[in-house]
Amino acid sequence: METSKDISRLIEIMAALRTPVTGCPWDLEQNFSTIKPYTIEEAYEVADAIERNDMDDLCEELGDLLLQVVFHARMAEEAGEFSFGDVVQAITKKMIRRHPHVFAVSDAATPDAVKVQWDDIKTEEKRERAERRAHRGITEDFKLGYLGSVHRAQPALTEALKLQQRAAKVGFDWSAAEPILDKIEEEIGELREALRNGNQDKVTDELGDLIFALVNIGRHVKADPEEALRGTNTKFRRRFNYIETSLQQSNETLEAATLERMEELWQAAKAIERQIG
pLDDT digits (tens, 9 = 90+) for 234-249: 999 999 999 999 999 9
Question: For position 120, what pLDDT does the model report?
Answer: 84
Q: Stretch 50-57: mean pLDDT, rounded?
A: 92
- H-state helical runs in 52-83: 55-78
pTM: 0.60
Instruction: Please give the Cα distance from 20 to 17 (Å, whole number).
Output: 8
Give SS3 for 258.
Answer: coil
The phi and psi torsions of 110 (rounded to 5 degrees) equal -125, 160
- H-state helical runs in 52-177: 55-78, 84-98, 100-103, 111-135, 156-168
Q: Nearest to residue 39, comparing CAs of 57, 18, 76, 64?
A: 64
Handedness of CA 17, 19, 21, 25 (dihedral sign): positive
Q: Stretch 27-56: mean pLDDT, rounded?
A: 93
